[in-house]
Structure 1
Amino acid sequence: MTIFLQSLDYQLWHIIVNGARMPTRTIEGVVSPKPENEYNDNDFRMLQLNSKAKHVLFCAGGPNEFNRISSCHSAKEMWDLLEVTYEGMNQVKESKISMLVHEYELFIMHNDECISDMFTRFTTIINSLKNLRKSYSNQELVRKILRCLPKSWTPKVTAIEEAKDLSTLPLEQLLGSLMTHETTMKNHENVEVKKKKSIAFKASKEDSESDEDGDVALITSQFKKFVKSQKGKKALKKFPHNLESSKKEEPTCYECKKLGHFKNECPNLKKKEKFIKEHSKKNKAMVATWDDSDSSSSEEESDEEVVNFNLMAMEEDTSEDEEEY
């Protein structure tokens, strides 16, 4: 309100603080109010400024303020009434000043607070004291801010005290220096946090792998103990196909349909081949004694009979081997 009134007309603020000068006249040493018909231009101007100041105060306040000041005759009376309403009497002012001074003396920066938020709280206290006619010098404010910083800021505080003249150091320049240092500290903290996270991730990964290996070893040992126990043996007897499926599959011979060897290693096949070779020699000798005048058809029939004879002999031999096996 002070700045607003002064921006409109500085004489408005002068009238509000000191009161309006009413037109007067002096007759034989006696001062008395001047009649309206004797007002000059200067008198009308002073009266107009007083009415203008009252109008500004009426428009600036709300309904409650209007009810308080509507009965006042001058702008000064209105201003004094509002000042008492919101600031209180001298006793109330002293009490408020005492509370704010106590907050100022115990003011510190919190651990989870940044420089900007800390300075905002500090400025609120300073402005409240200034409105109550209590102010501090710039040097006192600078030293107070340096004292309220945490221990982690000790190196920075020492550097500022040694490099700067605190009696001439502006408060805004101090704020900028502290905010710059705060940004640097946060960058270093972020780098350290990333390193710690990477190390913790590697350690957790190794722990998880070792835990998995330990779990597998534990399960294996427990399963072996179970198999060796009586209950495990009974369970395996009930489910023999589980063991068969767990064993490595053996090869099957396509000749004798038995397990354990392939067809080229089958003893039955070797016997057949040996038998065929021996009998083929005998058959050739027998065929040579036959009549050369026989037709080709008779030769084919004789060959078929020889082959059938050989096959019957081989089947008998294989059946005997199977029974022995």
Structure 2
Amino acid sequence: MSFQCPVLNSTNYTIWAIKIRSIFNVHGIWEAIKPKEGIEFDEKKDNTAIALLFQAIPENMVLQIANFTSAKEIWDALKVRHVGVDRVKEARLETLELDFESLKMGVDESLDVYAGKISEIASQASNLGHTMNDKKLVRKLLSSVSEKIIQIVAAIEQFVDLGAMPFQGAVGRLKAFEERTKKKNKEVDMHDRLLFTKEDGKERVKEQKCEHCGHESSRQGNKEGGRGKYGKTWKNKQGNQAQ
């Protein structure tokens, strides 16, 4: 079986070294890099390891290590060359860990956006050779969501094995609850609007009736007043004629 060796660059030394070691183990030549006690030097294995290392480094680095005569010397030289990069990565990982611990979902922040922030930090850590497993991501998610979805968190913690739950599975459960909550809130809001519209309509009808009644009452009063006036004048005329 043949395996394609990854090419070393300025940022992937940690991952590169892990992959190269696995390939060397398959070919049975890792002992050329880490000799075991009591085992004699095997020139054939050493030459095979050197050939694979030359395939796994960029061309501009080949001449820099061409003077080394063993696979172990080449490996150690590459490690020393990238030790500064490893220290930078360790510092960056510490920063990512602090960002991860301080991360908290905002009150008006959507679940998709917040879950994306957690995934992004996990991805950056993975690129630096550190893996944040699902258990850690799930616990971070459930312990830092906003109050509006805290109810479903309690149910998940009570009935689901958090150690076996994938991160995307936890996101899916919370998202389903969030969508149901949004739908319910919309229904309640629509119901309140309908009630308000209905009550407002009743008030308008009541005001119109009151105005109508008042108008009719006023007209009725005028009519009665008119009849009283004319009745009094007619009586006065009858009295004068009798005299």
TM-score (norm 2): 0.53
Q: Which has the larger radius of gyration?
A: 1
The CA deviation at 1:135 is 3.1
Matched, 1:198 2:191: no
Match in the other structure for 1:89: 85
2:234 is aligned to: none
Q: Does 1:13 align with 2:9?
A: no
Q: 1:168 aligns with which of 160, 164, 168?
A: 164
Q: Determine the C-alpha separation between the residues in 2 that align with 1:113 and 1:96.
A: 27
How much has 1:185 moved relative to structure 2? 1.2
Partner residue in 2 for 1:73: 62
1:16-59: CA deviation from partner (whole Å, max 9, x where unpaired): 645999xxxxxxxxx9xx9xxxxx9xx799759845x56xx6xx
Residue matched to 1:256: none
Counterparts of 2:63 and 2:194 in 1: how far apart (Å)?
74
> 1:146-185 residue pairs with structure 2 within 5 A?
146-185=142-181
Q: CA deviation at 1:109?
A: 1.9
1:126 aligned partner: 122
Aligned length: 172
Q: Please give the alpha-carbon distance, in whole angstroms, between the structure 2 residues aligned to 1:103 and 1:141.
A: 13
Shift of 1:122: 0.8
Deviation at 1:103, TM superposition (A): 1.5
State the Cα deviation string for residues 94-135 of structure 1 (Å, max 9, x = none).
332222112111112223333222221110011112222333
For 2:238, the equivalent position in structure 1 comes to none
Residue 116 of structure 1 is matched in structure 2 by 112
Contact 1:100 1:125 in 2 (8 A): yes
Which range moves more in the overlay, 90-99 or 172-181? 90-99
Residue 100 of structure 1 contacts residue 129 of structure 1 at CA under 8 Å; is this kept in 2?
A: yes
Indicate which of 171, 187, 191 corresponds to 2:183: 187
Task: Map Cα deviations across residues 145-182 of structure 1 (whole Å, 9 max, x no partner).
Answer: 11011122222111111111112222232222222212
Distance in 1 of aligned mates of 2:142 and 2:207: 52
**CA-to-aligned-CA distance 1:64-118 (integer Å, 9 cap, x gap):** xxxxxx63227999xx79x96xxx7344323322221121111122233332222
Q: Tell me, which stretches of 5 or more residues in structure 2 are unaligned?
A: 9-15, 30-40, 66-73, 216-243
Q: Could you tell me how far apart the structure 1 residues matched to 2:204 and 2:63 are?
A: 84
Q: TM-score when scaled to structure 1?
A: 0.41
Question: 1: distance between equivalents of 2:124 and 2:186?
Answer: 37
In 2 relative to 1, CA 75–137 (structure 1 residues): closer, same or farther, beyond 3 Å? Answer: farther
SS in 1 for 2:165: coil
Structure 2 partner of 1:295: none
Note closer, same or farther for the CA distance 1:139–1:47 as it changes in structure 2 (3 Å cut): closer
Contact 1:12 1:50 in 2 (8 A): no
Is the 8 Å Cα contact of residues 125 and 131 (structure 2) preserved in structure 1?
yes
1:241-252 counterparts in 2 under 5 A?
none
Specify every segment of 5 or more residues in structure 1 that has no aligned partner in the other structure, as ranges: 1-8, 22-30, 35-39, 58-69, 221-325
Counterpart Cα distance in 2 of 1:175 and 1:194: 28
